[in-house]
C-alpha cells in the first residue's frame, strides 16, 4: 500500500509541481504601452518630447528589406529573392521606394505600360508613380490576400515632356489600417509598344534610388524604434505567434537603451524569475532591470542569431525593500564597446512573463500517506476526486491522510 502511494506521489509531482505564470506582454492578449529608453539614435536624430525617437534615416532598416528570401515561393512568383516593405498602422500611403530609371531613357509614348508582382495579407491599393519631366500616379487594387498578384499600370504620355527619372512604388497606398502590415513586391517590368516585357527591377538587385521615408511609424517614431505590436517576421522555432515587440538598436547607441514599462507591483520574494523570448541578427547579452524600492540588473546571453531564444532572469529579493514598479529591458547590453554594431539593428521581443514560485504544488512526506483527494472550485463547489482530469486553472485540493489528518491547499494546473 505504501509503495503504491509513493509511486502515485512521484507521478503527481511530475505532472503538477508547476508554478503560476503571469504574462506581461505577448503581443496578442497582453500588449501594454512600453516606452523607449535612452541611447544615441542614428544620424544625429533627436527625441521630441512625448514622441519617441525621430530617426531621420534614408535607408533600408527593417522597413525596406531587399534581397529577402521569398517566403511565399508559389503561384506567380517562384523567384529566389523579393523586396519586403513594412507599412506602419498610421503611416502615410505614399511610403515606399524610389527607383532611379534615368538610364532607361523612357519614352512614355512607346513604353507606357508597367507591371509589378505584389503579395500582402490584406487587399488594398498599390500605386506606381513616374516622376521627372512631368509626373503621374496610377493606382491599381490588389484583391488576392495571401497570394502573389500581377498588377498592370498604364501611364499617359501627355503628362510628360521628356523621360521620367524616377519610378516610385507605394505597396499599400491607402489609410484605414488597424495594425502594422507587411508587403512584398518583385519583378517591376516595363513593356514596349509590342507588349514585349523587360524586367527593370527584381529582389536580387539593390534599389537604385532611395527609400521614401517620409511617414510616421507607430509611437511617433519614424522608423519604429519601439513598436509595441509588430508582425512576427520569423514564425519559427519556439515562437509562432503573430505579433511581437520590435526595438531598433542604433549601431552607435548606448548599451542601456531599450524599453520600459511602469505601473507594476512585483513581489520579488514570491516572483523572482522572469523570462522573455528574443530574436536578433547578432549574439550578445540581454539585460533586464527592476526598479522601485531598490534596483537590480540581471543579464543573460543570447547565443542563437536569427533564431528565437528564451532567456531567464532571476532577481534577488534582498535588493529590494518593497515591490518594484518598473521593468526595463536592454535588448543588446554590450557595455564594453558602445559602437559594437555594424548596422542599425532591429531586435524583437515576445512573451515577457514572471513566475510565482511560492505557489508550487507541494505534497506531504512519505510518512503522511494520502488515502483520498477531493478537488473543489474556488467558490466551494465539489468538482472531482481525480486530479488527472482537471483542466488548467486554480482549485482547492482537500487531502485525507492515513492518520486521519485533513489538509486543504491551493492547486494550480498549468499543463503545457
Distance CA(250)–CA(167), nearest Å, equals 30
Per-residue confidence (pLDDT) for residue 177, from 0 to 100: 82
pLDDT the model gives residue 411: 74
Phi-psi region of 29 (alpha: psi -120 to 50; beta: other; left: phi over 0): alpha
Structural domains in the chain, sorted by start: 2-18+360-413 (2.60.40), 20-42+223-358 (2.60.120.260), 64-212 (2.60.120.260)
DSSP count for the chain of H helices, then E strands: 1, 26
How confident is the model over 84-141, as pLDDT tens digits? 888 877 677 888 888 889 989 999 999 999 999 999 989 999 999 999 999 999 999 9
What pLDDT is stored for residue 2 in this prediction?
41
How far is residue 85's CA from residue 66's CA, in Å, rounded to a whole number?
9
Strand ranges in 202-283 using DSSP code E only, listed in sequence order? 210-212, 226-231, 243-249, 258-261, 273-279
State how far the alpha carbon of 322 is from the alpha carbons of 76, 268, 273, in Å.
Answer: 60, 8, 16
Task: Tell me the C-alpha distance between 147 and 77, whole Å.
Answer: 9
pLDDT digits (tens, 9 = 90+) for 306-346: 999 999 999 999 999 999 999 999 999 876 544 567 777 78
Q: What pLDDT does residue 339 have?
A: 52
What is d(CA 350, CA 147) in angstroms, rounded to the nearest whole number? 28
Per-residue pLDDT, 35: 79
pLDDT value at residue 43? 42
Residue ranges, the chain, pLDDT below 70:
1-19, 38-64, 90, 206-226, 250-253, 335-340, 358-371, 378-380, 388-389, 401-404, 410, 414-416
pLDDT on residue 230: 82
Provide the CB-side half-sphere exposure for 9 (13 A, CA): 18
Amino acid at each position: 500500500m505504501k509503495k503504491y502511494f509513493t509511486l502515485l506521489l512521484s507521478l503527481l509531482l511530475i505532472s503538477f509541481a508547476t508554478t503560476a505564470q503571469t504574462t506581461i506582454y505577448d503581443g496578442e492578449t497582453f500588449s501594454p504601452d512600453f516606452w523607449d529608453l535612452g541611447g544615441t539614435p542614428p544620424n544625429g536624430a533627436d527625441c521630441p518630447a512625448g514622441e519617441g525617437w525621430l530617426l531621420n534615416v534614408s535607408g533600408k532598416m527593417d522597413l525596406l528589406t531587399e534581397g529577402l528570401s521569398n517566403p511565399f515561393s508559389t503561384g506567380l512568383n517562384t523567384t529566389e529573392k523579393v523586396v519586403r516593405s513594412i507599412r506602419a498602422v498610421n503611416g502615410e500611403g505614399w511610403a515606399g521606394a524610389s527607383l532611379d530609371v534615368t538610364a532607361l531613357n523612357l519614352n512614355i509614348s512607346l513604353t507606357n505600360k508597367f507591371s509589378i508582382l505584389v503579395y500582402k495579407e490584406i487587399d488594398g491599393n498599390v500605386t506606381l508613380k513616374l516622376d521627372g519631366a512631368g509626373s503621374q500616379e496610377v493606382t491599381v487594387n490588389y484583391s488576392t490576400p495571401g497570394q502573389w498578384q500581377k498588377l498592370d499600370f498604364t501611364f499617359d504620355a501627355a503628362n510628360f515632356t521628356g523621360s521620367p527619372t524616377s519610378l516610385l512604388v507605394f505597396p499599400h497606398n491607402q489609410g484605414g489600417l488597424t495594425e502594422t502590415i507587411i508587403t512584398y513586391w518583385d519583378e517591376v517590368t516595363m513593356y514596349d509598344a509590342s507588349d514585349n516585357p523587360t524586367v527593370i527591377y527584381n529582389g536580387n538587385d539593390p534599389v537604385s534610388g532611395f527609400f521614401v521615408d517620409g511617414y510616421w511609424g507607430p509611437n511617433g517614431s519614424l522608423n519604429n524604434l519601439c513598436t509595441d505590436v509588430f508582425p512576427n517576421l520569423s514564425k519559427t522555432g519556439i515562437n509562432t505567434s503573430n505579433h511581437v515587440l520590435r526595438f531598433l538598436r542604433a549601431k552607435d547607441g548606448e548599451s542601456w537603451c531599450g524599453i520600459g514599462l511602469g505601473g507594476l507591483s512585483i513581489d520579488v520574494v514570491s516572483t523572482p524569475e522572469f523570462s522573455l523570448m528574443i530574436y536578433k541578427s547578432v549574439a550578445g547579452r540581454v539585460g533586464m532591470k527592476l526598479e522601485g524600492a531598490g534596483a537590480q540588473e540581471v543579464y543573460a546571453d543570447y547565443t542563437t542569431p536569427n533564431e528565437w531564444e528564451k532567456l531567464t532572469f532571476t532577481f534577488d529579493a534582498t535588493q529590494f525593500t518593497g515591490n518594484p514598479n518598473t521593468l526595463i529591458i536592454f535588448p543588446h547590453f554590450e557595455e564594453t564597446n558602445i559602437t559594437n554594431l555594424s548596422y542599425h539593428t532591429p531586435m524583437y521581443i515576445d512573451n515577457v512573463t514572471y513566475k510565482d514560485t511560492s505557489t508550487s504544488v507541494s505534497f506531504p512526506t512519505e510518512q503522511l500517506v494520502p488515502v483520498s483527494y477531493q478537488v473543489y472550485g474556488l467558490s466551494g463547489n465539489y468538482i472531482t476526486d481525480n486530479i488527472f482530469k482537471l483542466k488548467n486553472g486554480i482549485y482547492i485540493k482537500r487531502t485525507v491522510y492515513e492518520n486521519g489528518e485533513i489538509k486543504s491547499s491551493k492547486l494550480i494546473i498549468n499543463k503545457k
